[in-house]
Structure 1
Amino acid sequence: MGFGVVSLLDAVFWRAFTSAGLRPGSAAVDADTTIHFWAHRSLLPSTATTTEQQQQQKRPVVVLVHGFGPGPTWQWAAQVGPLSRHFDLVVPTLLFFGASRTRTPARSEASQAAAVAALLAGGQHLPGLGPGRTVHVVGASYGGIVAYHLARALLQQQQQRQRVGGGGGGLALGLKASTFLMQRSLEDRREEKIELIKGMTTAGGSQLTPLPLEVLIIWGEFDQIFPLEKAYVVKEKLGEKAMVKVIPNSGHLPAQEDPKLFNRILLEFLLQLSNSNAAAAL
């Protein structure tokens, strides 16, 4: 793909994100780690009016976690528009993808999730993301593993708040655990990305344990990297609240190969989850 075409697509995908109300940001989540992200303007400091914040404050939040390959604008361009009609979005750039960096030696999916969880703690980076928000987590490919660990991290945060008397709001996590490894684009930060692959502990579902959450697993019918039967292995590992939806005639990247059907399935799940009474109190 020529440089001119890449630049054009970058602009198209950037436009998709800004048209969905997203703005880029950067957060030093600890002394060693900086996360770049996109977030709805109502979640960011000094970018939303009081009226807009009041109108948006009850909307659930969807966190989109990308996989290996190009950056999040490339991987989620087809989803941010439809999702933004119902949800406020946060789209982090995982460590060693794009400009997100850490000096810590950890290279696991859990360490990726911990960095995103620190971002989602709100504070000065995302002041609009406070108590009173329902949160759904959606991950694609490698991001599906990170989303699983992120769900666990957010549940732990919830339990800690309950122990110290915190309250208010709700937490509902919809994990879209698609397949687990995307085969392209290692050229940038190659050494660190190879370490990430070596550090993968849950590929194929071997280390997964049940989640006390509603879980949607979307899988391509003809995935050549992780065959369809792996979807049902993952379902069994994640427990009785997990379900599988198969995208017909799709491979490893159903969100990009059949975005219309993918978006419909995902939206039906998230909207049902948001409207249910199953969200646990924070």
Structure 2
Amino acid sequence: MGFGVLPLMEYIARRAFLAAGLRPRTVTLPSTADDGGGDEARPRTIHYWAPPGEPRLPPLLLIHGFGPMATWQWRGQVGPLSRRFHVVVPDLLCFGASSSSSPSSPPPSESAQAAALLDALPGLLGTAAARVAVAGTSYGGFVAYAMARAAGPERIGPVVISNSDLLKTSEDDRAFLERAGGRWARPADVLMPLDARGARRLMELTFYRKQPTAMLPDFVIRDTMQKLFSDKREEKIALMNATTVGTDAFHVTPLRQDVLLIWGDHDQIFPLDKAFAVKSCLGENVRLEIIKKTGHVPQMEDPDQFNKIVLDFLVGSRGSSST
């Protein structure tokens, strides 16, 4: 049943996007060697929200993390940011209405997600010439970093990375499981719960402030979580396993772009001390802003402060406009 909690949240998020002038669209990606062939093969597509027509304002890509759909994660940003930027909000591969190629294709790493978005930019923007600012939260920060490093400042402009531990290690994963309470064997089980107890614990880990949804009855939360996290569940677990952050295949190097790091001071998924470590590895053009009394998603807990920080950075950053 769920008393329509999920449809209500989807309606609220969708309404925020429509009010900001964004509309849903889909772009088909070029074929790659990993797409496979035969009857199982299908084109890779990226579903996204954007204003109609070619950009009249500097383009800004908002990249979501794990958890609820992109519209939920960025609903507090699209209105204020769209007044100064041509905001584009894609669903990453294996999320939302976006699709990968075939069941036999390997799950995309964060670098493969970045490459897919770079390939999609002409379709997302309607032009191949635009220079794009990017902002990513959590896993989306991994993707934003990979995009900026791969494409360089000629294609990717200022970079915003929110609560995204680019230095995450297997030891950090173990510490996270301990903070979660020791009930779970892997981070994926904590981040994509299917029962009420797991959902309540995830909310406690994600948010600093107590969420109204935590007051709902167990059966409502359970039914909502099952509807929310059952979609493409195995693909997303495979996606987590394919992440190279925290492995020998991934090394953080300085970016040539201006970078803004944002962190909630009570983040229990990627604790605040990691923000300072990430900052020290990203080069000289890095600014760190800490938002008080927020957790892992400051853009949702304190959207006014988050938006002000992002706008001040993007408007003041050199070369933030399209070329």
| Fold match by TM threshold 0.5 | yes
Aligned residues between the structures = 250
Q: CA deviation at 1:130?
A: 3.7
Q: CA deviation at 1:183?
A: 2.4
Cα deviations by residue, 1:61-107 (Å, 9 ceiling, x for unpaired): 11000000111111100000000000001111011111211123142
Q: Is the 8 A contact 1:171 1:279 kept in 2?
A: no
- How far apart are the structure 1 equivalents of 2:284 and 2:258? 9
Q: 1:100/1:179 Cα in 2 relative to 1: closer, same or farther (>3 Å)?
A: same
Residue of 234, 237, 242 corresponding to 1:194: 237
Pairs within 5 Å for 1:200-239: 200-202=243-245, 207-239=251-283
Residue 154 (structure 2) pairs with residue 154 (structure 1): no
Residue of 160, 163, 169 corresponding to 1:175: 160
- How far apart are the structure 1 equivalents of 2:322 and 2:137? 27
- How far apart are the structure 2 equivalents of 1:280 and 1:22? 20
Amino acid at match of 1:13: A
Amino acid at match of 2:134: V
Q: CA deviation at 1:134?
A: 3.7
Q: 1:244/1:203 Cα in 2 relative to 1: closer, same or farther (>3 Å)?
A: farther
Residue 82 (structure 2) pairs with residue 81 (structure 1): no
Residue 316 (structure 2) pairs with residue 272 (structure 1): yes
Q: How big is the alpha-carbon RMSD for the aligned residues of Structure 1 and Structure 2?
A: 2.5
Partner of 2:141: 144
Amino acid at match of 1:30: P
Residue of 70, 75, 92 corresponding to 2:68: 70
Amino acid at match of 2:261: I
Residue of 84, 91, 96 corresponding to 2:94: 96
Residue 306 (structure 2) pairs with residue 262 (structure 1): yes
Q: CA deviation at 1:244?
A: 0.9
Q: CA deviation at 1:281?
A: 9.4
- How far apart are the structure 1 equivalents of 2:162 and 2:293? 19
Q: 1:234/1:67 Cα in 2 relative to 1: closer, same or farther (>3 Å)?
A: same
- How far apart are the structure 2 equivalents of 1:40 and 1:208? 34
Q: Is the 8 A contact 2:138 2:163 kept in 1?
A: yes
- Identity of aligned pairs, percent? 45
Cα deviations by residue, 1:202-242 (Å, 9 ceiling, x for unpaired): 259x7211100100000010111111110011111111111
Q: 1:171/1:189 Cα in 2 relative to 1: closer, same or farther (>3 Å)?
A: closer
SS of the counterpart of 1:9? helix
Q: 1:188/1:203 Cα in 2 relative to 1: closer, same or farther (>3 Å)?
A: farther
Q: Is the 8 A contact 1:107 1:196 kept in 2?
A: yes
Q: CA deviation at 1:30?
A: 2.0
Q: CA deviation at 1:174?
A: 2.0
Q: CA deviation at 1:3?
A: 4.8
Q: Is the 8 A contact 1:148 1:177 kept in 2?
A: no
Cα deviations by residue, 1:229-269 (Å, 9 ceiling, x for unpaired): 10011111111111211011111111111111111111111
Q: CA deviation at 1:19?
A: 1.0
Partner of 1:243: 287
- How far apart are the structure 2 equivalents of 1:2 and 1:208? 43
Amino acid at match of 2:24: P
Amino acid at match of 1:255: Q
Amino acid at match of 1:40: P
Q: CA deviation at 1:6?
A: 1.5
Q: CA deviation at 1:279?
A: 5.8
Q: CA deviation at 1:194?
A: 0.9
Partner of 1:161: none
Structure 2 residue ranges without an equivalent (≥5): 32-42, 166-186, 193-227
SS of the counterpart of 2:152? helix
Shift >3 Å, 4+ stretches: 278-282
Q: CA deviation at 1:280?
A: 10
- How far apart are the structure 1 equivalents of 2:3 and 2:83? 33
- How far apart are the structure 1 equivalents of 2:99 and 2:74? 21
- How far apart are the structure 2 equivalents of 1:88 and 1:263? 15
Q: Is the 8 A contact 2:29 2:45 kept in 1?
A: yes
Q: 1:260/1:177 Cα in 2 relative to 1: closer, same or farther (>3 Å)?
A: closer
Partner of 1:50: none
Amino acid at match of 1:198: N
Query: More strand by proportion, 1 or 2?
Result: 1
SS of the counterpart of 2:67? coil
